[in-house]
Amino acid sequence: MRLPTEKKQIWIARDLSRCSGCRRCEIACSLFHEKRIWPEASRIRIFMLVPGTDFPHFCAQCEDYPCVQACPAKALSVSRETGAVLVDKEACIACGQCVEACPGRIPHMHPTEDYILICDLCGGEPQCVKVCQEGSWNVLRIVSKGDYSYNLYARKPEEIARNLALKIYGEEGDKLI
Amino acid sequence: MILGYAGKVLEVNLSTREIKETKFNDKLLRDYIGGRGLAAKILWDRLGNKWEKVDPLGPENILLLLTGPLTGFFPGGRTCVSGKSPQSNGVIGSTVAGEFSVELKCAGYDGIIVTGEAEKPAYLFVKDEDVEIRDASNVWGKDAKQTVSILTKECRELLNKRFPKKGEWKEPAILYIGPAGENKVRTAVVAAKWTHAAGYGGYGAVMGSKKLKAVVVKGSMPLPEVADMEKVKELIRVVCDDVYESELWRRWGTGSAGYEVGAKTSSEPIRNWQEEWHNEKSFGVDQFESKVWVKPYWGDFGCPTTCLKIAVVKTGKFKGAITDNPDYELQAYLGTNLGIFTPEENVFLASLIDDLGLCGIQTGNVMGFTAELFQRKILTKDDLDGLELKWGDAEAFAALAKKIAFREGMGNLLAEGTYRAALKIGKMKGVDVLQYAVQSKGIGIGAHGIRSEKDYPESYSYACSVQGGDHTSTACLPLDDFRSELIMTFNDSAVYCYFNIFGVPRNLKFEFYKAVTGIELTQEDWVNTKALRILQLQRAMLLLGGPDLKWKPKIHDSNPPRFYEPLPSGPYRGKTVDRAKVEGEIRRYYEAVGWDENGIPKTEVLKKLGLDDVDNALEKLR
C-alpha cells in the first residue's frame, strides 16, 4: 500500500474506440521530442488499418517490461520516477529485439537515426494527453498507476484493428480488414 | 527555396514508365502557391497552346495530385486533385481530405504529376525516394473497400519485408478510383479512406483513362522546415481553440443540414430541384444520430473539427451499409433530390456510391434528372432497361447507380454527366430536356439553391464561377468577401480544409502562410493580383474548352432554367431569380474581375497580370 504523500506514478488510460483519428497526439509528440511535425517519429502512432478504426498505439508499461529484459545492449531501462521505458540512444544498437519481445510490437525504429522509439511519458507530463483532453475526446487520460495487467494493452495493430472493426461495423467488420 | 515546401515534385510518365523529379522556381511558387493555383499554371504552361484539342480522357491530359505550403501545418489536411476536367473541359481544383498529402510531403514531394497512360492497370507506390509503378491487376475492378483493404495489406507487407527491423509500419495513405473511374465515368471521383472524395471535376475518370488504379504513399521524413515554428504552434492553437469552443461543424458535421436547409432556408434540391423546401422530420439530424451514427467524431490529420461521423445500418433491408454521416451534400443529392427521406436509405445509397467510386453530388444530380424525365414520361421503363425510376425508391436508384458505374444500357449515356446526357437524350427524344438539367458548365450544381436568397444569395454564384456548379467555389462580390471564389482559391492553393477557418480572424490564414513560408502576403495583394491571375487562367481554359464542348458566356454564364421557375412550396413560395436582375449582376461581376461585356478577360487586365500569352490565346474568342 502506497502512502498518500508518496508521489504516484501515472498511466495513460486509453479508450481506443473513441479515437477520432485527428492525430494531434502525433503532432504534439513529435514536436516535443523532435521539434518537428513528424508522424513517423512520434512515440504514439495512430494506426488506421481499416478506415474508421483509427486508434493510438503506444507503450503500455507492462509490469515485467519484456522489452527491457530483451535488450542485449542494456540500452533500455525503467525510469524510477515515472515507470516509463527510457532509451539510451547511444547504447541502442537498433537490433529490433525489443520489437520482437513486445507483445504488441509497439517499439519502432527512428526513421532517420539508429535507435528505437518508445514512449517516455514526456518525463511525466505526456503531451499527447494534453491535446487529446483539449479536444475532449477522452481517448487518453492520465490516471494513477495501479495494480493492473497493463500488458493487456500491448497488442499488435492487426488484432486491435480487427477488434475495433467488429465493434464498430458488426459482422461486416470481418470483410474489411 | 521557400520554407514549408518539400522542394520538389514527382513526375511519372505512365506511357514510358519514366520517373523524374521536377522543381519549380521560387517566383512561380510565390505567385501560384500550390494546389489549385499551381495546377492552373502547370496545365496552362504544358497544355495551353493546344488546350482545345486535348481530350481530358486521353493520354495527353495531365493528372495532378498537389499539396500546398500549409498542408500538414494548418489543421485539417487535404490534397488538391486537378487536370483538364472531363466535366467542364476547364480546370477544377478539387480537394480531398486525408493523410495522403502529409505522407507525400514527408516523402519529400510537394505533389505528383502523372502523364501518359499505362499499358495495363497500374498503381504507384512511393516510399520516400523509392518510387515504383506496380501491377494493379489484382485490384482492378474492385470496389473502394476492397481496394483499400488489399492495397493496405500488400504495401504494409512490402514495407515490412524491405525494412524488417523497423517494427510495425503504419498504413500508407492511398488515393484510388473505384469501378466508375476505371470505366471513365465523368462523375467518378478520386477517393481516400472509403468515403472521402475529390468529386468536382471528374478526375476519377482521368485517373481511369490512365489505367492508374491508385497512388500509395509512405513518407518517413518530417514535414518541411518552417520559418517560425513557435508562431505556427500558436496559430494552430488559435484555430483549435475556436473550433472546440464554437462546436461549429463539430457536433453534427454538415449532417444537420439535410433537414435544416430544406425546412429553414428553402434551398435544398428536392426531386431534381422541383422544390427546395421540405419539413420531413424523419430526415432530422437527431434521427441520423440515434439510428446510424456509430462513431460520432471522425477526422483527418490535425483536424479539431472532425466533421465526419461514421454511419452504419445494422438491421433491416439495408444492413451492412457503411459510410460517413452522410454529409449535407449527400443527404441532399442521395436523399431529398431522389425523394428519399430516411437515414437508412440515405446511408445505403451513399455507401454504394462510395464503393463504386462515384461522386454523390454529380451522380445524384444526373439520377434526379433521369427520374424527372421518367416522371414526365419522356423516358420510359423500356429506355431504362426495365427500371421503374420512381421518386423515393432507393433500390431503383441503386440499380441505376450501378448501371452508370459500369456503363450498362442507359447507364452508358448517363455516365457522361447531366449536361452531356441531356444533349443526347434531347436529340434522341426530340424534346428540350436541358430545361431539367440543373448544372452549370457541365458540373451539377451543389446542393445550395439561390432562389430563396437565404442560403447562397448571389444570383450569379454558379453562373460566373470558373468551377461551374461547384458549391465550394462560387462567384461573389465584393471580391474579398469571405465566400468569394478568390478567397476560396487561397484555401485550395495553400491546401487545407476551410471548415477550420470559419470562426477565426480573416487574416489568420495569411499570418499562417507567413509563419510557414516566411513570405508576407496581404489579402489585398492576394485578391487583386495573385488570385485574380489564377482566376484568369482558369477562365481562359474554361472558355477555350473542347474538344467535345465549348462554353459561350452569353449563353452559358447563366443559371439552369429551373432557377427561374418560382419556388412552388414553403415559406418562400413564389420566390425566384429575376432574369433582368441577374444579367445586370453578371455584368457587374465581369467588370470587377476584368472581363469584357462578352465575358472574355480584357487585354489590359491580362497584360497587367503578366498573362500576355493568355491574351493571345483568347484573341480568337473576342
Q: A–B: how many Cβ contacts below 8 A?
A: 129
Q: CB-based burial of residue A4 (10 Å sphere; 0-12 exposed, 13-18 middle, 19+ buried)? A: exposed
Residue B279 lies in a domain: yes
* Cα distance between residue B359 and residue B188, in whole Å: 6
Residue A5 lies in a domain: no
Whole-number Cα distances in Å, B243 to A15, B173, B250, B477, B492: 23, 26, 7, 27, 20
Q: What is the CATH number of the domain that holds B419?
A: 1.10.569.10
User: Which triple of cell numbers denotes residue B347?
Assistant: 446511408
pLDDT in tens, A63-109: 999 999 999 999 999 999 999 999 999 999 999 999 999 999 999 99
pLDDT band at B457 (very low <50, low <70, confident <90, very high): confident
Average pLDDT along chain B: 97
* Cα distance between residue B262 and residue B252, in whole Å: 16
What pLDDT is attached to residue A6? 59
Residue A39 lies in a domain: yes
Chain B residues lying within 8 Å of A106, measured CB to CB? 167-168
Same domain for B435 and B517, yes or no, is no
Written as one string, the DSSP assignment of A39-100 is: GGG-SSEEE-SSTT--EEE-----TT-HHHHH-TT--EEE-TTT--EEE-TTT-----HHHH
CA distance B582 to chain A (A): 43
CA distance B312 to chain A (A): 7
pLDDT in tens, B353-389: 999 999 999 999 999 999 999 999 999 999 999 999 9
Is residue B496 within 8 A of residue B96, CB to CB? The reply is no
A94 and B165: CB-CB below 8 Å? yes
B240 and A24: CB-CB below 8 Å? yes
Range of the domain at A158: 10-176
Residue B461 lies in a domain: no
Q: What is the CATH number of the domain that holds B75?
A: 3.60.9.10
Containing B580, the helix (H) or strand (E) segment is: helix B579-593
What pLDDT is attached to residue B456? 86
Largest CA distance in chain B: 71
In chain B, the residue whose alpha carbon lies closest to the alpha carbon of A38 is: B222
Same domain for B372 and B311, yes or no, is yes
Q: CB-based burial of residue B386 (10 Å sphere; 0-12 exposed, 13-18 middle, 19+ buried)? A: exposed
Which candidate from A21, A41, A168 shows the least CB-CB separation from B222?
A41
Rounded average pLDDT over B479-504: 96
Does A46 contact B at CB distance below 8 Å?
A: yes
Q: State whether residue B105 is helix, strand or coil.
A: helix
Whether B229 shows a pLDDT value over 70: the answer reads yes
In chain A, the residue whose alpha carbon lies closest to the alpha carbon of B218 is: A40
A47 and B299: CB-CB below 8 Å? no
**Structural domains of chain A, count:** 1
Residue A24 lies in a domain: yes
Rounded average pLDDT over B471-486: 95
Same domain for B521 and B440, yes or no, is no
Percent of chain B with pLDDT over 70: 100
Whether B584 shows a pLDDT value over 70: the answer reads yes
Same domain for B100 and B159, yes or no, is yes
Number of CB atoms found within 10 A of residue A75's CB: 20
Residue A142 lies in a domain: yes
User: Which triple of cell numbers denotes residue A165?
Assistant: 472493426
Is residue B246 within 8 A of residue B302, CB to CB? The reply is no
* Cα distance between residue B218 and residue A39, in whole Å: 11
Residue A3 lies in a domain: no
What pLDDT is attached to residue A2? 47
* Cα distance between residue B19 and residue B11, in whole Å: 6
Is residue B42 within 8 A of residue B541, CB to CB? The reply is no
Residue B177 lies in a domain: yes
Residue A132 lies in a domain: yes
Same domain for B373 and B492, yes or no, is no
Same domain for B303 and B436, yes or no, is yes
* Cα distance between residue B568 and residue B587, in whole Å: 29
- The reply to whether omega before B172 is within 30° of 0 (cis) is no
Same domain for B123 and B205, yes or no, is yes
Does A22 contact B at CB distance below 8 Å?
A: yes
User: Which triple of cell numbers denotes residue B392?
Assistant: 423515393
* E strands, B383-448, in order: 439-440, 443-444
Q: State whether residue B175 is helix, strand or coil.
A: strand
pLDDT in tens, B52-99: 999 999 999 999 999 999 999 999 999 999 999 999 999 999 999 999
Instruction: Report the residue of B99, B127, B159, B166 to disrupt the A interface, i.e. the one with the largest count of A CBs within 10 Å.
Output: B166
pLDDT band at A1 (very low <50, low <70, confident <90, very high): very low
Residue B228 lies in a domain: no
Q: What is the CATH number of the domain that holds B536?
A: 1.10.599.10
Whether B305 shows a pLDDT value over 90: the answer reads yes
Chain B residues lying within 8 Å of A135, measured CB to CB? 240, 244, 304
Tell me chain A's radius of gyration from C-alpha atoms.
16
Range of the domain at B16: 9-218
**Structural domains of chain B, count:** 3
Same domain for B59 and B125, yes or no, is yes
Is residue A43 within 8 A of residue A118, CB to CB? The reply is yes
Q: CB-based burial of residue B555 (10 Å sphere; 0-12 exposed, 13-18 middle, 19+ buried)? A: exposed
User: Which triple of cell numbers denotes residue B22?
Assistant: 521536377
pLDDT in tens, B403-423: 999 999 999 999 999 999 999
* Cα distance between residue B96 and residue B78, in whole Å: 5
Please state the pTM of the whole predicted model: 0.98
Same domain for B500 and B425, yes or no, is no
What pLDDT is attached to residue A113? 97
pLDDT band at A8 (very low <50, low <70, confident <90, very high): confident
Percent of chain A with pLDDT over 90: 90
In chain B, the residue whose alpha carbon lies closest to the alpha carbon of A115 is: B166
Same domain for B200 and B262, yes or no, is no
Rounded average pLDDT over B576-596: 96
Which candidate from B152, B229, B297 shows the least CB-CB separation from A20?
B297
Same domain for B415 and B315, yes or no, is yes
Q: What is the CATH number of the domain that holds A128?
A: 3.30.70.20
* Cα distance between residue B423 and residue B419, in whole Å: 6
Does A96 contact B at CB distance below 8 Å?
A: yes
Tell me which residue has cell 517499439: A107
Half-sphere exposure of B226 (CA within 13 A, CB side): 27
| Cβ contacts of B293 within 8 Å, gap of 6 or more | B309, B310, B311, B325
B299 and A137: CB-CB below 8 Å? no
Same domain for B497 and B434, yes or no, is no
Residue B455 lies in a domain: no
Does A146 contact B at CB distance below 8 Å?
A: no
pLDDT in tens, B95-132: 999 999 999 999 999 999 999 999 999 999 999 999 99
User: Which triple of cell numbers denotes residue B326?
Assistant: 452522410
Chain B residues lying within 8 Å of A34, measured CB to CB? 222
Chain B residues lying within 8 Å of A119, measured CB to CB? none
